[in-house]
Amino acid sequence: MIGRRPKFDDVIRRQLDAFERDHADVIDEAEAKLAAYNAGERDEAEELYGDYIDALETGTEILADVRDAYAQSLDERFADRYLRDFDRAVAKRLPPFRLELENR
C-alpha cells in the first residue's frame, strides 16, 4: 500500500450500521423530540427545541467517540482523511447528527 491512500468507505459503513443497530433508541428519541417540537405550541417551542438538541447531542457523542477511537488507531497520515470521510458519511446518512458532530 505504499503511495496509496486507504479508502474508508467500508469501515465507515460498518460503523454507521452498528450505530443505527445498537443505538436505534437514540435515533428514535431524536425523531420523537423533533416531532414534539414541530407539533408543540409556540410557548413551548424553546424548551422542545432544547430537548431535541439534547437528543442529538447524545447521538453525536456516541458517533464522535466511534470516529475518534478509530482515528487514533490510524497512522496520522490517514487520520485526517478518515475524519473527513466519516463526517461526510454522517452528513449523508444521518443528517440531523451532522451539525453537532462537526463541532466536536
Run means of pLDDT, 10 residues per run, the chain, 104 residues? 68 98 98 96 95 95 96 93 95 90 74
- Give residue 5's pLDDT: 55
Asked if residue 1 lies in contact with residue 79, where contact means CB atoms within 8 angstroms, the answer is no
pLDDT at position 26 is 97
Q: What per-residue confidence (pLDDT) applies to 6?
A: 66
Angle at 52 between CA 13 and CA 63, to 5 degrees: 25
DSSP H helical ranges for 23-72:
24-39, 45-72
Tell which residue, 78, 97, 77, has the closest CA to residue 87: 97
Grid look-up 497512522 returns 75
How many residues are there in the chain?
104
Rounded to whole angstroms, the Cα distance separating 88 from 39 reads 30
pTM here is: 0.88
At 17 the three-state DSSP class reads: helix
